[in-house]
């Protein structure tokens, strides 16, 4: 399983998601940042930051 806590990147955000597939996780993250943070386009720099904060959980 892969887990991402948005608060690890955006101070104060409590959104967390855990799924088995990184592609699914990235899609959910894209939806979240669009709605909650007003970021419509995720550039390569943001993808890199997000990937640095994805945790493997069992």
Residue-wise pLDDT tens digits, 17-55: 999 999 999 999 999 999 999 999 989 999 999 999 999
For residue 4, list its beta bridge partners.
17
Is the distance from CB of 28 to CB of 13 less than 8 angstroms?
no
Is the distance from CB of 53 to CB of 2 less than 8 angstroms?
no
Domain boundaries, the chain: 2-56
pLDDT for position 58: 85
For helices 44-52 and 22-37, give the axis angle rounded to 10 degrees. Answer: 110
Global pTM exceeds 0.85: yes
Q: Is the pLDDT of residue 11 over 90?
A: yes
In sequence order, which residues have a C-beta less than 8 Å from that of residue 17 and are 6 or more positions away? 3, 4, 25, 28, 29, 32
Is the distance from CB of 9 to CB of 55 less than 8 angstroms?
no
């Amino acid at each position: 399983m892969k887990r991402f806590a948005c608060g690890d990147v955006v101070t104060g955000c409590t959104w967390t998601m855990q799924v088995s597939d990184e592609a699914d996780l990235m899609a959910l993250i894209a939806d979240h940042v669009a709605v909650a943070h007003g970021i419509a386009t995720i550039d390569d720099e943001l993808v890199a930051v997000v990937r640095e904060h994805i945790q493997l959980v069992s």
